[in-house]
Amino acid sequence: MARQRHNIGFMAIDRIASRHGFTPWRQRFRGLTAEGTIGGEKIVALKPMTYMNASGESVQTACAFYKLPVEAITAFHDELDLVPGKIRVKRGGGAAGHNGLRSMDRMLGSPDYVRVRLGIGHPGDKARVLGWVLGDFCKDDANWLPKTLDAVAEYAPLLVEGKAEEFMTRVAQQK
């Protein structure tokens, strides 16, 4: 399960937490949390351990506990509509069929959070999407996946500073 394409968001969060010296992961809010500092800002990383289509329950509980507005959230997730290794950052928007985002939108009452869309590519046929998303990364992905995750972790301070465009540029240059 850990190497499934659907888990690229968790993989990115793990790399960020490791790179920036976050606390060990612990169970809270129906998920796993780790805390640290990036760019002088306290960050709480959360990996919901619910089913994907209920991940908003975990996010909403954590937000309520920390009294965080929706605008303070950054969600890292897989994106079928981007080629492998491509990254896009945007605030708000639709769920585009992603059940985790749909759950977050519903539970938070707003889609106005930052989304870091991590490209995993599309299998080419809609009938193959489920198997593709739930399938493990393959040998060919070793050419881009580690470099992408390392770059996301290295340039995470730019996200914290609200410099999404610079973050995307720097990550693209590292691959």
- Residues forming the active site: 6
Distances 114 to 120, 122, 162 between C-alpha atoms, Å: 19, 23, 10
Burial class of residue 136 (count of CB atoms within 10 Å of its CB; 0-12, 13-18, 19+): exposed
Which residues, other chains included, contact 64 with Cβ-Cβ below 8 Å and sequence gap of 6+? none
In angstroms, rounded to a whole number, what is the distance separating the alpha carbons of residues 26 and 161? 26
